[in-house]
Amino acid sequence: MTFSAILHRIGLLACILLVASCFLPWMYYADPHIATEAQRTFTGFSTYQNQYGKPGKLLSLIAVIIFVFMLLPKIWAKRANLFIAALGIGYAVKTYILYAACYNAYCPEKKAGIFIMILSMIILLIASLFPDLKLEKGKKD
7 and 135 Cβ atoms separated by less than 8 Å: no
Instruction: Kindly write down the DSSP assignment for every residue of 44-72, as one continuous string.
Output: SS--GGGTT--HHHHHHHHHHHHHHHHH-
Q: What is the pLDDT of residue 79?
A: 93
Q: What is the pLDDT of residue 84?
A: 96
- Specify the DSSP class assigned to residue 33: T
- Quick one: which of 56, 57, 31, 33 has its CA closest to 44? 56
- List Cβ neighbours of 20 (8 Å cut-off, separation of 6 or more): 116
pTM: 0.87
CA distances from 46 to 40, 67, 92, 112, 121 (A): 10, 24, 16, 16, 20
Mean pLDDT in consecutive groups of 10 residues from the start of the chain, 141 residues: 89 96 89 73 82 89 95 91 96 92 84 95 94 72 55
Alpha helix (H) residue ranges in 72-111: 75-100
